[in-house]
Amino acid sequence: MEETQDTPQRLFFALWPSDEERRALVRWREGQPLSGGRPVPSRNLHLTLAFAGDVDAATRDCLEQGAQQVRGAPFRMTLDRIGLFKRGLFWTGPSLCPPALGDLAAALAGLLADCGLEPDPRPFHPHVTLIRRLPGRLPEVSPPGGVWEADAFCLVCSRPGEGYEVLRTYPLGDSPPGSLSERSGSMG
């Protein structure tokens, strides 16, 4: 389906893991005694920072331009926690949100508001969804414990039935500009 300038796009800002980080999560997930549910495909693993929803071309432009002004420091986070949200969303994330991660999420929520969107009113809860619709209770397994290095964030488009596409990458700190999608294989 060809998109026109007037076709709304479903957008969000995210941290996109490297191929190595993604493979480590998948290896950990496959090594656990988990049954049922729908594993999130490796290419779609990410950490959502701010969800914009369906936006028109003018709002997308506002988000792209505004994200260029967002400043943040690179950071590391350890995936040392697991959890189970409603509807069986099994996730991993940091037990303590690095200050730079919280600041980045807050700045992007502010950008959504500046562009006329309503940011999620719930507190930011950094997590990577690993399995959808996992039946039962939280499994008794140890968290993956891997460390993610974050030196950039992305504007991502969700294309139903096709996966995710990284549209633009924004460096944190003194990171060199470039396409994280090319570095990490994040095209869905």
Whole-number Cα distances in Å, 155 to 2, 45, 46, 80, 182: 20, 14, 12, 26, 14
Q: Residue 188's Cα: distance from chain center in Å?
A: 13
Annotated active-site residue in 17, 25, 45, 46: 46
46 is a catalytic site residue: yes
127 is a catalytic site residue: yes
Parallel, antiparallel, or unpaired for β 152-159 and 128-132?
Answer: unpaired
Annotated active-site residue in 22, 29, 60, 127: 127
Instruction: Name the residue with tokens 């039935």.
Output: 161
Parallel, antiparallel, or unpaired for β 152-159 and 163-171?
Answer: antiparallel
Q: Give the whole-angstrom CA distance, residue 29 versus residue 179.
A: 27
Catalytic residues: 46, 127
